[in-house]
Structure 1
């Protein structure tokens, strides 16, 4: 009795230490999983405030879960405690900027309280990284507090639902993936090209840690059940031999290593060039922009008498900036130049407008500057900006609402203000910007491709013929020559007709100016008309004197499209920009500029930007000259025209450019048959291949185990030797029992094994199999072939009996068990142990 009492006291003394190790081990493995989740979420914020939040949230989560364990709180009380901590710590952790600005304290608290419902929109519509902008850290606080509290509570307290702890921890990594950027991380790791290295590390590490935790906890529960059985029965069980454990560990590690190696080798190939489908890719103000008219089609409205001398907006500061941008038009469909490509998907970065967080990173080789902008008579969704925007702050009581409606595209350097409240007279904001430091000269640029990118059907033949007639060199020198000749041989004209008695303000401001009518619009037909006139003039007059070759009236609307198409023909990526110059660049064509930062309608212009092979965008002015008019020689060589007297009472109004059906609206592309399109088939094959590869990586090892056992059983059952068929049937019976958790055969005889595998109730036909197998092996005469078939019928019945002893999961685990596949040397008889019953299910 004294010995038993001593053992019980020693067992009770070990309980607190054992429980403490249990809590620490669970927390350590789950904390590693939470850390990987923080790595996956880090690209969303990239701010020290996020690191402080994660650290504090995990500490608070451990305290809440431990308090619930010690005080035996129900799940509802634990949830209420977590909610209370979230509300109290929300502003200091999720909106740290509000602590230094008392006027934003209440809005920040409301942002924290509404984050579980509305905070996700900010994560999807703001440009990355988010930093600590407003209350964008609130969703992260909610997840890094709520998920660890739930996972730790389940791991420490639940007897069966602990299996949900690891999947909950994976939720943090899933959050980082779904709300992450549209593009993968940098493809270089330690000098090795590896696409999506950060994402691959986060995903693989999270899955591996979840698997390690599940395996460790399963083994712990098994050992705990064995200890309980030992305490109840008084029979001490021995552990698994080192060789068996080493074999199982080696096989499992090999399978994991093979799967990881296959994933690392094949994932970059599968992901290369593919868009990343995340939630952010589906949130875009494209619908709002699709309803907006092209800003280039509205260009001539700035030169009406109502707008010509009216201040549209004022730009103060902006040291080093020489231009202010309204809109960037990167697409030309033959009718209008557009901001977005209607045929492009939402993953196209040139059409992706997102909200701006606290700060955007500045591009390389730029210098910072600050511009204060005040809106005057200007109206529209296109926001005046200088350089590359890094931060913007709207003034006034409605500044927060305007910040929420402001979207920006970093690639095109263009911002838009969606309605309510949008831009209106009196709105002001301060913009932090990055200005290109000393951009290269046009003549030194190198094209990034060898062939044009524009659809040949949208390029007038007259443009190609005019380029060929100039005999210009290649690259930037040729582009500079062509643009100079285009501007010098054009004539500035903003209207189709003018009153010669009272000319419009724009014409009067040009001084000694000979007006020539020019049609609005910039469709392919209008550009063809421009270059046809230039070719006709050059063919008639000859020579290279541009003053004698002036023949194409128009303005920036037509000449910007013409110059963009020329750049495309020379291999340069190009885009059109509508905006204004902030200073006088001593341009020979006298391009207007904003005097003192006050930009009037007459100061507006359009230019193009061409991209060098290095990726730098260089602005190029395209405004035609106005000093030299169209010479009369061309008029004398033309066929006589019958003048038509225009009577005001019967005259039909000419639709402005923005409402001209020929220059706006959607274009129905003509269907062309150019052979079978195999792109869809390739996409289907690629997606199918990637899917099959993923399934093989996930389920291939399990399928391999099942196939190996099936082939082994078939080989034993179809053995040509009757003795081999019987002994193979006995081995199948033993392997089935081992896979179902019974101890390996060791040195037991067949009869002893049959008694052990029969269980406490003695059910089954194991004894019959044992006697039959012994007789077949030791008898003088071999068994009849028909005896082998009957022996295997009994074996199949025994296999069904073993399968019926447990539930569905036990049957699946037996089918995937590796115990029977181990060499016989590693399946030694365990010492001690009971005389029956499965020992593998602890």
Structure 2
């Protein structure tokens, strides 16, 4: 037998790979491993290796075992997919599996979602990637698929055919594609690019060079010379790859900032411009939900504020975030993050740890937070299951939950606040060169007033202080409520800021003053942005405080060199607005109109007795509630059972239809021949070697030779009866069909009893259909 073919003992039907095939498999799997380690820059560590190696082992084991047991293409795919989902929970989404191993409905759903959408998420997530939980499915799927295809080609296609270069080239397509994918979905900082590339090239070239075995007929001396030439060629390939590959990597490799990676070309999927600007809803808090308990917060220090949204783009009508077409890293660029959030480096930090926020009446996508987040974990409510939808902007400290927050949601966070500095600390500090989108539609009165207020100031800090002092000392606070002594129109666009600065008295609230101050700062060329949030009164002990709509506020942040974004509050505290001395018109007396008498039954109509039904409460008290652990155990048992038994049921239905069609369709001699075809297929499904083109008698003798000695089967006699019915030319009685089918099924039962338990189980998942013999 040739060394390139797989030897299979005639009595077992198992096709074991040859040593050369094992060597092919080993080379291909090493190449796959070199490709998957390139995912390291995306994940910022080696947390993905369990998923990547797990997929590699699972795919290789499936391909090898399917070849050894001679599984057909359909059954191989079915077994591979089932194994992919069964073991995927343990390899890729351990946090959603029972005991980190057993699959659950949630883990299976994550595997399915990650297999489809993980490829788009991995190129839009901010690295290092920590969420969503299904993101590890990407390396798991990649290595599983490539290993499965590569081992299948090595054991079935290369092993039994001439070892030509083009066949080996096709087998290399999968590892090469994985290697390139790890580069494209990575970052501009490659992982050991030179070392991985050289090793990959050496293995691939050496494998191609050694693909042909030594010809057995060559004389001993010639074989030795041929082997020496191969060794010399291999050494030359290794040396050339090291020198050429290393030199090319040093001289011709592009700079890191010029590398082409997909994440630099794809915009994040979340577009905040599709949502209303938070500042445009400022009066909603001050007038409609003034006393509503929006959320509770604990762990803050007196003077802290809760940040909601940061806005750095002014359109003439409102302040909003920067669109992705204006700045790729502006306030409108949000990326998916995990619990560990990229740290803000442009800050003079003060830590705020163990801050807890519980949502009440608040209902929006903007996540209330403190300072710049470093850690975020949802602990209660519907948001726990939607934590993978959190997106964060590191430069502004703004977080959003695309599915929205609702009552009952709670989360814990750690953050760093900008340290509060005195004006004296910043008097000699220059503003930072931070690129912000240009202001459009700012009214001329803003520039003139800014020059007037800061006429005597020389430094940036002095100018900003002068503007802030002019607004707070000359302005008055009014939310436009009925209780306010003077009306105050909502809005913060150019028309409202013009109205604020041109009236005899400056009247407005945080919305108008923050907008005006930011525009004045921007008129000097200073990087300023508006922040909307809440300023509740924090107790000294940092205990829980309830935030209401009346606590809403807005302030301005200006960037200073080597310091960070410094907050300015330009809103005055004075609410006692002086009244203009305008004489009131005298009221004219109106004629009195007699009112109709009050109905006697009016009070009775307003109070309607209601009968309370207490039976529902009693019934609910006695209702049986299934414990949560029962659901967990049920899912853990039911889901694997469905994965195992549903394919078994599908295969059984297909086999039943096949046997029924053979037994009932066609003429009588066709049905007799169908009994023999069914027998042969059943034997093949049990792993017995069936001759491909032999006559029925030849096939029968071959099958009997594989059975234990002395085992009665009657295969030869059955083959002779079938040939007589098909080729005899005489009319066959219909009763002959049942007789032959009974004998065939009895022979199948004998073969099943002689097979091992593993082969009997595997046969239930195999489907084999031979063409009808004539």
Using the size of structure 1 for normalisation, the TM-score is 0.57
- The residue that corresponds to 2:190 in the other structure is 198
1:577, CA displacement in angstroms?
1.4
- The residue that corresponds to 1:267 in the other structure is 255
Conserved 8 A contact 2:534-2:547 = yes
Conserved 8 A contact 2:28-2:175 = no
- The residue that corresponds to 1:211 in the other structure is 201
- CA–CA distance in 1 between the matches of 2:124 and 2:189? 25
Q: Secondary structure at the match of 2:252?
A: helix
Using the size of structure 2 for normalisation, the TM-score is 0.61
- The residue that corresponds to 1:92 in the other structure is 90
In the alignment, does 2:321 pair up with 1:334?
no
Structure 2 counterpart of 1:560, from 495, 498, 514 = 514
Q: Secondary structure at the match of 1:137?
A: helix
User: Structure 1 residues 166, 443: closer, same or farther in 2, change over 3 A?
Assistant: farther
Conserved 8 A contact 1:324-1:384 = yes
Q: Deviations over 1:291-336 (max 9, x none)?
A: 43222122122222x4222222222344688121222212112221
- CA–CA distance in 2 between the matches of 1:149 and 1:356? 32
- The residue that corresponds to 1:53 in the other structure is 51
Structure 1 counterpart of 2:284, from 280, 295, 301 = 301
Structure 1, gaps ≥5 residues long: 1-7, 13-17, 185-195, 508-514, 538-550, 587-593, 636-640, 647-842
Q: Deviations over 1:140-168 (max 9, x none)?
A: 22222222232344356524533134331
User: Structure 1 residues 579, 54: closer, same or farther in 2, change over 3 A?
Assistant: same
Conserved 8 A contact 1:68-1:78 = yes
- The residue that corresponds to 1:526 in the other structure is 496
Conserved 8 A contact 2:130-2:337 = no
RMSD: 4.5
1:643, CA displacement in angstroms?
11
In the alignment, does 2:548 pair up with 1:600?
yes
In the alignment, does 2:352 pair up with 1:352?
no
1:619, CA displacement in angstroms?
2.6
- CA–CA distance in 1 between the matches of 2:221 and 2:435? 85
User: Structure 1 residues 352, 178: closer, same or farther in 2, change over 3 A?
Assistant: farther
1:582, CA displacement in angstroms?
3.4
1:395, CA displacement in angstroms?
2.3
Conserved 8 A contact 2:28-2:150 = no
- The residue that corresponds to 2:558 in the other structure is 610
1:599, CA displacement in angstroms?
1.6
1:443, CA displacement in angstroms?
4.9
- The residue that corresponds to 2:601 in the other structure is none
User: Structure 1 residues 363, 430: closer, same or farther in 2, change over 3 A?
Assistant: same
Structure 2, gaps ≥5 residues long: 8-16, 588-774
- The residue that corresponds to 1:430 in the other structure is 411
- The residue that corresponds to 2:35 in the other structure is 37
Structure 2 counterpart of 1:168, from 174, 178, 182 = 174
- CA–CA distance in 1 between the matches of 2:437 and 2:96? 50
1:465, CA displacement in angstroms?
3.0
- The residue that corresponds to 2:360 in the other structure is 376
Q: Give the stretch that moved more between structures: 595-604 or 151-160.
A: 151-160
- CA–CA distance in 2 between the matches of 1:403 and 1:249? 49
User: Structure 1 residues 321, 520: closer, same or farther in 2, change over 3 A?
Assistant: closer
Conserved 8 A contact 1:313-1:373 = yes
- CA–CA distance in 2 between the matches of 1:615 and 1:156? 63
The size of the alignment, in residue pairs, is: 555
Q: Secondary structure at the match of 1:351?
A: coil
In the alignment, does 2:612 pair up with 1:623?
no
Conserved 8 A contact 1:311-1:377 = yes
Structure 2 counterpart of 1:494, from 461, 479, 482 = 479
1:580, CA displacement in angstroms?
0.5
- CA–CA distance in 1 between the matches of 2:521 and 2:223? 88
Conserved 8 A contact 2:308-2:368 = yes
Q: Secondary structure at the match of 1:408?
A: strand
Q: Deviations over 1:73-116 (max 9, x none)?
A: 56656545543432332222212223567999431233224543
User: Structure 1 residues 623, 229: closer, same or farther in 2, change over 3 A?
Assistant: farther
- CA–CA distance in 1 between the matches of 2:217 and 2:585? 111
Q: Secondary structure at the match of 1:215?
A: helix
Q: Secondary structure at the match of 1:216?
A: helix
User: Structure 1 residues 463, 613: closer, same or farther in 2, change over 3 A?
Assistant: same
- CA–CA distance in 2 between the matches of 1:229 and 1:216? 24
1:611, CA displacement in angstroms?
2.3
Conserved 8 A contact 2:352-2:416 = yes
1:604, CA displacement in angstroms?
0.7
- The residue that corresponds to 1:778 in the other structure is none
Q: Secondary structure at the match of 1:350?
A: coil
Q: Deviations over 1:208-256 (max 9, x none)?
A: 44433332222113x53x6368479999975659999988887776654
- The residue that corresponds to 2:210 in the other structure is 220
- CA–CA distance in 2 between the matches of 1:608 and 1:627? 21
Q: Secondary structure at the match of 1:598?
A: strand
Q: Secondary structure at the match of 1:611?
A: strand
